[in-house]
Amino acid sequence: AYLGAIVGRVANRTGGGRLVIDDRTYQLSQNEGQTHLHGGQRGLSGRLWDMEGDGAGNAVRFSYRSPDGEEGYPGNVVFTVTVSLKGACVTYDMAATTDRPTPVNLAQHNYYNLMGGGEVWSHRLTCIADRRTPVDGRGLPTGEILPVAGSRYDFRDLTALGAMDPGREGADINLVFPEARNPADPVAQLAAPNGLRLRLWSDQPGAQLYTAQHLTARPGGWTDKSLWPFHGICIEPQAPPDAVNQPGFPSILIDPDRPYRQHLSVEITEVPSCAG
> Active-site residue among 70, 71, 119, 236?
236
Is 109 assigned a catalytic role? yes
User: Judging by beta carbons within 10 Å of its beta carbon (0-12, 13-18, 19+), is residue 81 exposed, middle or buried?
Assistant: buried
Is 214 assigned a catalytic role? no
Longest dimension (CA), the chain: 65
> Active-site residue among 36, 109, 123, 231?
109
User: Judging by beta carbons within 10 Å of its beta carbon (0-12, 13-18, 19+), is residue 223 exposed, middle or buried?
Assistant: exposed
Q: Give per-residue burial for 67-77: e unless 16+ CB within 10 Å, then b.
A: eeebbbbbbbb
225: left (phi over 0), alpha (psi -120 to 50) or beta: beta
Q: Give per-residue burial for 129-157: e unless 16+ CB within 10 Å, then b.
A: bbbbbebeeebbbeeebeebeeeebbbee
Residues assigned a catalytic role: 109, 236
